[in-house]
Amino acid sequence: MTTAGIYDLLRELPFFSNLGESALRFIAGCGQNVHFAADEYIFRENQPADAFHIVRAGHVALEIASPDRGSLMVQTVGEGEVLGVSWLFPPYRWQFDAHALEPTRAISFDATCLRAKCDEDPALGYELMQRLAETMSRRLRSARIRMLDLYSHAGTS
Amino acid sequence: MVPSRYRVTSRHRETPDTITLALEPVEGEALSFEPGQFDMLYVFGVGEVPISFSGARDGQIEHTVRSVGAVSRAISAARPGDVLGVRGPFGTGWGVEGAEGADIVVAGGGIGLAPLRPVIQRIIERRDRYGRVSILVGARSPELLLFREDLAGWRSRFDMDVSITVDTAGVDWRGNVGLITELVAETGLGPTTVAFICGPEIMMRFVASALLDRGVEPGHVRLSMERNMKCAIGHCGHCQFGATFVCKDGPVYSYDRIAPLLAIREV
């Protein structure tokens, strides 16, 4: 798909809402349209985090392998959501497995390309970091609340 | 105040610690109730606890009980043919009829889905009177989901959306893993949406907040509160919640009425 085609897809994604045309075109240069089959692993824990995905359609599980319990799902990511943030920070390695639960379409951004563009245009980098930080904050809150195991503690009679 | 005798007609295990009992009166007709109300279930010689209605069918009432203490364990141990004492119905209902014409969101977490089941049953009975219906369900894990047959039936309908999320799951799970509030973002909402929420209080606060962020009116959000209820008629004071008693002024409250109380730690 051409950069112009990726640009059109990015305009439809809530993650990029209200981002200026020039910034979107700049980012689109790092993106490509990708497709994953059901049950395909998009990335694996500890592999190089060389891409950043936004799911356009489908459903992806973030999993972690436990020697005694098998693979455990810690989060699912659906339409319009960010898949993977490990590309942002050294050592740039994935911390979970990403498992497509159904046929999944996504925009995949080359991490090196995107980091270089953020370095080149700090205003754009700040804007993207704000959006990614909001996602990370929301997921951190979700993880913290789930750690409370709320559903196990109801009633005493 | 005197319990009526009800006979257990069936016992269905929902999860390892939760069962649903169907009860019929030993004499006379089963009491009628509004979704959201509760009974005091009495195990003779053991004690009495408040339990919400989780359904009704064929002249029987249903209660879903989780074993968390001496009385609920004794109720859970009841078998078909056993007799329990029943006082009720008590408390406020969800006001399902008052929501006719509106889009509906039903959000239940853990055992909190039980008091919402009659809401869903009532809406299905009169489906043409409601707009879009979204059912959001949260549980600790897939194995701990209540009413699995009902969930499958509701999901098979084309006139309501059912979204389920769990805190954690094995790889054979094909649903969502995450917080129930994350399902709100995927739900069609509008200013006329009416929401019914039941579950742990922290969960209800977060779900209510997510709904308000998306434009739902505070007065259209209803929560079912849980406090230590004893007499069920507002005399003993055990269930005081601010200036109200949960047993008679609740358990179902409008969010705009109790939002200030939810922020006070001691209440």
Q: Is the pLDDT of residue A156 over 50?
A: no
Report the domain count for chain A: 1
Interface of B with A in 63-102 (CB under 8 A): 66, 68-72
Q: Are B57 and B7 contacting, i.e. CB atoms less than 8 angstroms apart?
A: no
What is residue B21's predicted lDDT score, i.e. its pLDDT?
Answer: 97
Distance CA B83, CA A130 (A): 61
B192 located within any domain = yes
Strands A31-36 and A104-110: antiparallel
pLDDT digits (tens, 9 = 90+) for A99-121: 999 999 999 999 999 999 899 99
**Chunked mean pLDDT (size 10), chain B, 267 residues:** 92 95 92 93 94 92 94 95 94 94 96 96 96 96 95 95 94 91 85 92 92 92 88 84 87 90 77
**B173 and B142 Cβ atoms separated by less than 8 Å:** yes
Residue at A68 is within a domain? yes
User: In this structure, is residue B248 part of a structural domain?
Assistant: no
**Chain A residues within an 8 Å CB radius of B213:** none
The verdict on residue B211 lying in a domain is yes
Q: Examine the fold and report which residue of B224, B239, B258 is the final residue of a domain before the chain moves on.
A: B224
Q: What is the pLDDT of residue B228?
A: 82
Q: What whole-number percentage of chain A has pLDDT above 90?
A: 75
- pLDDT interval class at A4 (50, 70, 90): low
B184 in any annotated domain: yes
Bridge partners, B86 (sequence order): B4, B41
Strands B176-177 and B161-166, by their bridges, are parallel
Q: Closest CB to A145: pick one of B50, B169, B179.
A: B179
Range of the domain at A21: 3-148
A52 neighbors A128 (Cβ within 8 angstroms)? no
For residue A24, being part of any structural domain is answered with: yes
Q: Quick check: B168 and A78 CB within 8 A? A: no
Q: Are residues B132 and B216 in the same domain?
A: yes
pLDDT at A148: 87
Asked if the model's pLDDT at residue A155 lies above 80, the reply is no
State the CATH number of the domain containing residue A49. Answer: 2.60.120.10
**Are residues B129 and B72 both part of a single domain?**
no
Q: Specify which residues B64 forms β-bridges with.
A: B20
Element (H, E) at A126: helix A122-147
> Between chains, do B182 and A142 touch, taking CB under 8 Å as contact?
yes
The minimal CB distance from A157 to the residues B68, B138, B174 is found for B68
For residue A77, being part of any structural domain is answered with: yes
B138 & B193 share domain? yes
Helix (H, G, I), strand (E, B) or coil at B135: strand
The pLDDT of residue A68: 82
Q: How far apart are CA B2 and CA B152, in angstroms?
A: 39
Residue to substitute from A151, A152, A153, A156, interface B, most B β-carbons within 10 A: A151
Residue A154: pLDDT band (50, 70, 90) is: low
Look at residue B250 in the predicted model and tell me its pLDDT: 85
CATH number for the domain that contains residue B20:
2.40.30.10
C-beta of residue A75 within 8 angstroms of C-beta of residue A55:
no
For residue B17, what are the domain limits?
4-90
How large is the average pLDDT for residues A127-140? 94
CATH code at B219? 3.40.50.80
Query: What confidence score (pLDDT) does residue A1 get?
Result: 63
Q: Say how far apart CA B266 and CA A141 lie, in whole Å.
A: 24
Radius of gyration of chain B (CA): 18
Structural domain contains residue B235: no
- How much is the pLDDT for A153? 67
Of the candidates B165, B173, B202, which has its C-beta nearest A150's C-beta? B202
pLDDT at A70: 84
B219 and B109 inside one domain: yes
